[in-house]
Amino acid sequence: MKLKALLAAATAAAALTAGAAAAEQVKIGIAAEPYPPFASLDSSGNWVGWEVEVIGAVCAAAELDCVITPVAWDGIIPSLTGQQVDAIMASMSITEERLKTIDFSDPYYNTPAVIVADKSMDIEATPDSLAGKIVGIQASTIHQAYAQEYFKDAELKVYQTQDEANQDLFAGRIDATQADSIAMADFVGSDTGSCCEIKGAVADDPAILGRGVGAGVRKGDDALREALNKGIAAVLADGTHEKITAKYFTTSIY
């Protein structure tokens, strides 16, 4: 048993030292936690969803050899700067705060932020209405930044994934959650989401909520950023974007 373990360690060490990049593969980081309908695992272990298809299309148009690499959302920007991935395409909004650390491509989709709460609750998407309520948000998102800025009188509960916040909304542990309108439309349409409804969009603040979702790249990695921009422009121009969107949503999300 010990020998086996030693062998395993030796191979691992070899993999660490000898695994230098052979081909020019571009590692696209997505959140390891499911974020339907944009990216989630199916039961055979494949990533599926709108964003996964768009990544495929953008990479094909930009002639990049992309590999999807799941990373914990919570540490996705450090993973990019730490070179574990080369780009982030994980429904990440382009915000001023993030631009201080990383660069972004042009946006490839844009959706408003909404408040979701139990149907029986009389809640509006305003700071006054949410005062004293428990609001669940996902860590490291524009929604967390927004809620911390505007919902100071609410009790904020921070989740690692939006899915967990949804689960607790369903369980009644939180009164409301702020998240992306498309993801939430999907949630309230599901069995567990039937408890709840979208109460409305929050007042826009472009400084915090950003200018749409783009692909994050390391600062100075202009070659990749340009390539991705080209790919995004191509899929928008030739109708691929629209085709993929039609498969998942009823309205355009660009």
Candidates 56-64, 82-90, 104-112, 228-236: pick the segment binding another protein (CB under 8 A): 82-90
Is the peptide bond preceding residue 34 cis, with omega within 30 degrees of 0? no
* Residue numbers 119-178 binding another protein by CB under 8 A: 134, 136, 139-140, 144-145, 157-161, 163-164, 167-168, 170-174
What are the beta bridge partners of residue 214?
A: 107
Q: Does 237 bind another protein (CB under 8 A)?
A: no
Identify the sign of the CA torsion 86, 65, 34, 92: positive
Query: Does residue 197 interact with another protein by CB under 8 A?
Result: no
Amino acid at site 147: A
Q: How far is the CB of 247 from another protein (least distance, A)?
A: 19
- CB of residue 238 to another protein, shortest distance in Å: 32
Three-state DSSP state, 51: helix
Q: Does 191 bind another protein (CB under 8 A)?
A: yes
Site for another protein in 58-77 (CB under 8 A): 70-75, 77
Which 3 state secondary structure label does DSSP give 117?
strand
- Nearer of residues 17 and 251 to another protein, judged by Cβ: 17
The distance of closest approach from Cβ of residue 165 to another protein in the complex, given in angstroms and rounded to an integer, is 9
Structure token pair of residue 167: 């689960």
- Specify the DSSP element, H or E, that contains 196: strand 196-201
